[in-house]
Amino acid sequence: MKPFDIRQLLSAGLALLLLILPFICNAYWLDVCVSIGLYALLALSLNVILGQAGIFHMGHAAFFAVGAYTTAILNTSFQWPILWTMPLAGAAAAFFAMIVARPIIHLRGDYLLIVTIGIVEIVRIALLNDVGGLTGGSNGIFGISRPTIFGFRIAKGTQFYYLVWGMVGVSLLLFHSLWHSRFGRALNYIKEDDIAAEGCGIHVSHYKLIAFVLGAFWAGMAGTVYAAKMTTIAPESFNFLESVIIFAVVILSGGSHLGVLISAFLFIGLPELLREFSNARMLIFGFAMMAMMIWRPQGILPPRHRRYNTAVSLAKGTPPTVDFASTSKEETT
């Protein structure tokens, strides 16, 4: 490993910037940064499904919605404290993902894509039609209380900023170790070639299902934070365009965790920067989406190839680049 790696420098710079950001920007931009953090959280969770396992999933807003509504209903109807609902919101989203994904997980790429779009539409319409009298129809649910940690009430922008980005930090650590685990390698293998993976003894649909459920769990927890921040949620916040943006963030990132953060900044920050163009801003945004993909089709920062120290490669002096089949060898990156 080189002493000054460009990615490490970037990560360190980004971490430092994120720490001092609340002291240098005004309330408006702080709010933008909170939504960037929320999207980063959602994109990190989708990255497990789409980026690592290569499952074409464009309905992530559905799981986000399930989490947010679970929190909202538990909080407003049963007076649960917000942060206590977080594991339950995640579990509800994960359970929902398990039920819907089980019959469709074996579908081929584009068929799965349209089914996941269908799921997000069905969830939105179900919320609109006030299922079970719990979701409040098109008005949604309002009056969600603020979260408290050990009696300390989180209500101000800065406090939310640290809550959201703290969660992003914890998620990064967890997803980083997931990426380097046996499970992460199996997911990568499935993405590269699912038939070969099956041949090597990886239970493909089982692993895909776990990736799906795990991603949904995280999206559900992000839903809790969203509900607590907005204090009002409505079905239109979880529409298809929302899923498209999360999807595009992951594809533009290239699949690495640092890439996801940069891509979230670009996708959510760019329309805010373009506010002065008022009506034309989404036009420019759409054009930028095309231009960015043509400029870097592989994404901003694709994850580095896994390298392994094997006796053979050491003897030859050149490490083999990709070797997902090796199961228990030491990794150097």
Partner 1 sequence: MEQFFQQLLNGLAVGGIYALVALGYTMVYGVMKLINFAHGDIFTIGAYLGLSLLVSCNIAGLLGPMAAVLSVFVMVALLTALVGYLLERVAYRPLRNAGRLSAVVSALGASIFFQNAVMLIYGARFYVYPDFLRPNFTVHLWGLDIPGIRLLVIGATVALMLALSAFIQRTRTGAAIRAVAIDPGAAQLMGINVDRIISLVFLIGPGLGGAAGLMVGIYYGQIDFTMGWSYGLKAFTAAILGGIGNIPGAMLGGLLLGVIEALAAGYVAMAWKDAIAFFVLILILIIRPTGILGERTADKL
Where along the sequence are the contacts to partner 1 (CB under 8 A)?
A: 56, 103-104, 106-111, 113-115, 117-119, 121-122, 125-126, 128-129, 193-195, 240, 244, 247-248, 251-252, 279-280, 282-283, 285-290, 293-294, 297-299
Quick one: 124 or 229, whose CB is closer to partner 1?
124
Query: Which amino acid is residue 152, in one-letter code?
Result: F
Structure token pair of residue 273? 């920067």
Quick one: 29 or 240, whose CB is closer to partner 1?
240
To the nearest whole angstrom, how small is the minimum distance from the Cβ of residue 201 to partner 1? 18
Contact 260, 43 (CB under 8 A): yes
Structure token pair of residue 150? 């050990």
CB atoms within 10 A of CB 227: 29
SS3 (DSSP) at 148: strand
Quick one: 18 or 251, whose CB is closer to partner 1?
251
Residue 79: phi and psi, rounded to 5, are 55, 35
To the nearest whole angstrom, how small is the minimum distance from the Cβ of residue 71 to partner 1? 24
In this structure, are strands 141-142 and 232-233 parallel, antiparallel, or unpaired? Answer: antiparallel
Find the DSSP H helices in 53-104. 60-78, 82-104
Quick one: 33 or 55, whose CB is closer to partner 1?
55
To the nearest whole angstrom, how small is the minimum distance from the Cβ of residue 159 to partner 1? 34
Structure token pair of residue 100? 């819907």
Contact 249, 301 (CB under 8 A): no
Structure token pair of residue 329? 């060898």
Quick one: 49 or 225, whose CB is closer to partner 1?
49
To the nearest whole angstrom, how small is the minimum distance from the Cβ of residue 194 to partner 1? 8
Quick one: 278 or 328, whose CB is closer to partner 1?
278
To the nearest whole angstrom, how small is the minimum distance from the Cβ of residue 327 to partner 1? 23
Contact 218, 238 (CB under 8 A): no
**What is the rounded CA–CA span in Å between residue 207 and residue 187?**
7
**What is the rounded CA–CA span in Å between residue 100 and residue 115?**
10
Quick one: 21 or 244, whose CB is closer to partner 1?
244
To the nearest whole angstrom, how small is the minimum distance from the Cβ of residue 307 to partner 1? 22
To the nearest whole angstrom, how small is the minimum distance from the Cβ of residue 231 to partner 1? 27
